[in-house]
Every structure is written in C-alpha cells, then in structure tokens.
Structure 1
Amino acid sequence: MRQFMSANSVFYLQRDVYEEYEEYKDDFKQVIKERETRRLIFLHQSPQIFYRGSLVQYVKMVCIDRGLSHSSLHLAVYLMDLFMDNHHVIPEKLLLVANVCLMISAKLEENALKIPKISELNALIGNRYTTLDYTNLEVLVIQFFNFYLNFPCAVHYVFYYMQEFICYEDLKGDRNVRTLFYDLYDAITVHLDRIIEDVHYMQCYKPSVLAAAVIAASRLDIGLSLWTQQLENLTEYTEEDLRDVAQILLKNDGLQCAKCTPPSIIKCIDSM
C-alpha cells in the first residue's frame, strides 16, 4: 500500500501522461460510462446464494496470498455472482467455479507473471479437479458472457475518481497531503472489501455510483466533507445523488432484498 504513489505504481501519473489524458478526458468518460451499460442484469435467483459468503472469502484469501489486485478480486466476484445467478451448480463444483472466475479475471487485470496457473489454484483446494474440468468450465463461463468479459466494477471507477478525491480545502489545519492520502486510501480499501461481501452492493447499484459513494463514505470516515465540486465535475454525481448510498455504507448493516426468495433452478450443469 505504501508504494501507492511510487513511480512504478499503476496509480502514478507522470506529467506527460496526465496532459495526454486531459486532452481525451471527455472521450474517456463516455467510454467508461458506455461499458457500464453492458453489465448483465442480476436476477436474484442463485440456487447457491447461501454458499456465496464462504466463496467470496476464499477468493479474497487467494488474491491476498497471490498479491492480486482489487480489480482482479472484484471482477472475479462479479463473474462468479452472475454465473451462479444463472446456473444450478452442485456444491462440490462451487470451488471450481470460484477458481475459474478468478483465473479469468486475473488474465484481464494482471500482468502475465501474476496470473495463477490451474495447478496452483487446484493445489489450494486439495487437487480435487482435473485440468480438463478447468478448461471445460472456462469455455462455458466465457460462452455464457458471450465472449465479453471486460465489465467495469466499482473498484475500476474508484481508481479513476481518485485523481480528484483530495482538494485544496481538505488541507485546512494541520493536515498534510501525504497523511491525508494514505488515510483516505485506507478507508476506501475497507469499503471496497465490504461491498463484495454483500451481493446487493455490486448488483443493485451502478458501479460508477457505488464507487462515488465509496469515496464519499471514506471522506466522512476521516473527517472530511462528503463531496467536493471537483469530484462532482469528474463523476457527474452530486452530493444528493450519493448521500443515501454513502450512509448505507457507513452503517454497514447489509442490504435487505425482497427479490431474494428461494430461487428456482435455471439451468442444471451438474455434469460439467
């Protein structure tokens, strides 16, 4: 975490890169908002919903152990949620689904050296599946998403919004930029971990809204104002747009959903 601002960090923005970004800022906004519309609808009908908590903790543990990014973690959970929401997977195959979704997300989000191998993931769960099990399910998952897997998650928007998450007015008193930056980043990390623990955060809010609310809640956590004009200009969300979601994040009580009744079986793939 403390290498966050170093020159070899993915979040470090050199001056020439920043100037190039400024030239295409409006185009970039349009592209990322368009990607958001391509996310699949969550139907709240996963037959395996009661296993989700342990599966998310498992994927999180693997990401920490392998040093994978928040982006890999969140995308893996998103893929897993949508796949489970549309299939009936026998419990004995759920860890296979989790490993395959993580492997796919790492291929999209990490450099080649950090992508976990099938043998490495399989070893973590006692080598209970074959290589063919992994390759067959990977093809099935990719086909289910119609070969489009570059879905934006809240974490992607958070990293984009972080360029404006501190403003000059935040530096009043004895605050300094470095301390403020790390305190805010730590608070953001806590909320990013929380939003993958409850499926409704990731599936019931647009990623851009959820990301903005994460930053707003994190600002309140460390004693700053909820929102700033710079953030409003960048995100195109006002303080009023985010207040309710930010308060829900701060309470951390979880979300209730009337749609999550005992689900029907959508598609059986017990034989995968």
Structure 2
Amino acid sequence: MELEGQWWKGQLAGDIYHALRYKELRLPVYKGQSPQLNLRRYFADLIAIVSNRFRLCPAARHLAVYLLDLFMDRYDISVQQLHMVALSCILLASKFEEREDRVPKLESLNSLTCMSSMNLVLTKQGLLHMELLLLETFHWNLYLPTAAHFIEYYLSIAVSETDLHDGWPMACLEKTLLYMNKYADYFLEVSLQDHAFLRFVPSLIAAACVASSRVILHLAPTWPPRLQRLSAYTWEQLLPCVERLLLAHDSDVNEANKQRCQQQQPGPQPGQAMYPAQSQSATVAQYVHRPALQYTQQSCQPVLVSAHASSAYLCHSGSLQVSSGPTHGQAQPQTISVPLDAKIKMPNRPYQVNSIYSCTAPCFNR
C-alpha cells in the first residue's frame, strides 16, 4: 500500500511514468462542442466542493471533472440531468482512484448542504443507471491519466539545494518545499477551471504547474535541466500553459486585494509571507522576464501578453443559461434522455468563482 500511495518513490516509478505518458497519447479527443459549455465551470466547482467535503484525492477529483467534460462533449444533456451526471462522475472516479471505505455513500451525498440548496435527492436506482451509462460511454475504461497523476512525480525534484532564490542561495529548503507543494496544488486546481486547458496533455499541465510555482517563488533557473530531463519538456513548450496559469494567479491576487480593501482589513504583517509574490500582483511579462528567472540553458524569446488575453479564461459564469447550440462548424452532440428520480431547482444567484478557488496567499492559512 505504501508503494501504491507514493509510486513516484518506488523502484517502478520510471516504468509507471512512461506507461502514463503512453496512455495520455491515446486519450479521447475533446472538441469543446457541448451546448451546455457555459455551465461547465459551475459543475466543475460542484465537483470540487463535494470532493473536498469527502477529502477525495486530487486524482479522483481531476478524473471526475475529465469524465464530465468528455460526457458533456458527446451528448446534449439537460441542465437538470447534469447534476446527476456530475455526482455520478464523482462516484465513478472515487471508486477507481480511492479505497472502498473512502467512496462517498448515498446517504452522505444526500446530507450535503449543497444538495438541499439545489432541492436534489439522489436515489440508488438513478445513480446506478447513470453510472452504467457513463461506463458504456467510455467503454468501461476509466484508465484516463490527468495532470494530478503526474504532479507528484515532478514535485519529487521540483526544488533542489542548488536552486537560487532571488539570485541568492536558498535560506530554508524545507520551507521552500512546503510552498512549492502549496503553489503546485493551487495551479493544479486552476487547470480544472477552464476547458481550454484540455488542449494540453496532462503531463504538460503538471509540468507547467511546477514551472509556474517556481516562477512565483522566484527560483532560478525557472526550468532547470533536471526537470527538463525528467519531463522531456522544454521551457518553450511549457510557456503557453504557464502564461494561462500565471494570468489566473494575477486575477486571483487582484481580486483578493480588492476584497481586502473593501473590507478595510489590514495588510499582511511582517513574517506572514515568505515571498512578496503572495501579497503583490504582477503581470505575466514581469514574471517571465525577471533576469534571475531566465532559463540559461536555452534561448527564451520575449513574451508579450495583452491585457485582455485572459478574458475568456477568467470570465465568471454569472447565469445558468443553456447555450442555443454548438459552435458553427462543429458536429452536433447527441441528445439523450436520462431518467432522473429527483426534483431539481437551479439556484438563481450567480456563483462567485473566487469563493472556491481563492488566491494563493490565503491558501496557506487554510
């Protein structure tokens, strides 16, 4: 069990990693053609809330969101049925990734506060029917690697004593490792928030999460040779994904600072933050082009990011209106009707994303 729980530390880590890389090349194609694509963020947040409530592992949470994305991409599903689909994806993912005693039970799901607010009551028959439909859709194959399956392998060498912090030798390796894990978890959750990340393979997203964490922590070089050898990704290959992650980070920091000013709360006290990036916002260009962060082993062309580059990524789902249909030129998803033994009332209030995925500074106080 110890080897299963921390496979990246075992003798078979290299073989397991190469098997995951081989499998990710054969993942189903995602087209982003769901008519309910504007609801995707809401249901991804719902999966995050439920998985956090039951303390499911990141692999189960990411697999559940990925199953939801693929299922929505193939079928035209009513808004009411999407709740059942999302919760069934959580159950399937937890059964595949977690121990049996950690799989959420029907009674526990129905007792959740978010379930009562949606006026949703699950039934055993309804869940079994939906799980069977999901399994048939994926041909009973749930071996689908996600970024969460790769992140620990990269984190095993993400920080070294030879790294520099702001151009100086590292003062405290243990504290840097702690912050590296916190930031990597944060960026890993950011990658769940937008379906645009599905155009990157999972191993690249995981590597970009580590690289973004090193950028925020002012570690140099940004992408050292040891990480390039382990991941087989160069800095130039990671840069498009890193830009998206850092734009999301800047947006979260700005939103947190805005809320702090509105609440007239005092700023962070000396000693609370290890790195200035936790309390100050910066542009992606400032992150990427800091002299101490240049990757000296390769040439890195300047990157210019416009102010509106993240508008599609950082938008909030303010309403729960179903779009009229898929984008022009895309295939029409199939329409299915799934029996749902429940009465569902969609909430009328907008869902604030930052209440679930807060900025990285407060995450260390959780």
TM-score (norm 1): 0.86
Q: How many angstroms does 1:94 deviate by? A: 1.0
- 2:162 corresponds to 1:95: no
The alignment covers a number of residue pairs equal to 255
Please list the CA deviations of residues 22-74 of structure 1 after superposition, one character each: whole Å capped at 9, or x if unmatched.
Answer: xx62x334311111022110111112112111111111111111111111111
Q: Which has the larger radius of gyration?
A: 2
- 2:90 corresponds to 1:106: no
Between 127-136 and 78-87, report the one with greater CA deviation.
127-136
| 1:222 corresponds to which of 212, 217, 234 | 217
Q: How does 1:1-272 map to 2 (within 5 A)?
A: 10-11=5-6, 18=10, 20-21=11-12, 25=14, 27-124=15-112, 125-126=115-116, 127-170=120-163, 172-201=168-197, 203-225=198-220, 226-252=222-248, 253=310, 261=327, 265-272=332-339
Q: Structure 2 unaligned runs (5+)? A: 249-309, 314-325, 340-366
SS in 2 for 1:38: coil
Counterpart-to-counterpart distance in 1, 2:7 and 2:67? 28
Please list the CA deviations of residues 165-218 of structure 1 after superposition, one character each: whole Å capped at 9, or x if unmatched.
Answer: 1123226535222101111111111111111010111x1101111111111011
SS in 1 for 2:21: helix
The 1:214/1:67 distance shift into structure 2, 3 A limit, reads same
The 1:170/1:9 distance shift into structure 2, 3 A limit, reads farther
4+ residue runs over 6 A deviation: none
Q: Structure 1 unaligned runs (5+)? A: 1-6
Work out whether residues 91 and 104 of structure 2, in 8 Å CA contact, stay in contact via their aligned partners in 1.
yes
Counterpart-to-counterpart distance in 2, 1:239 and 1:169? 19
TM-score (norm 2): 0.65
**Letter aligned with residue 180 of structure 2:** L
Work out whether residues 162 and 169 of structure 2, in 8 Å CA contact, stay in contact via their aligned partners in 1.
no
Counterpart-to-counterpart distance in 2, 1:254 and 1:114? 38
Work out whether residues 80 and 101 of structure 1, in 8 Å CA contact, stay in contact via their aligned partners in 2.
yes
Q: Percent identity?
A: 26
More helix by share: 1
Counterpart-to-counterpart distance in 2, 1:72 and 1:251? 26
Counterpart-to-counterpart distance in 2, 1:55 and 1:70? 16
The 1:165/1:254 distance shift into structure 2, 3 A limit, reads farther
Computed over aligned residues only, the root mean square deviation of the Cα atoms, in angstroms, reads 2.4
**Letter aligned with residue 205 of structure 2:** L
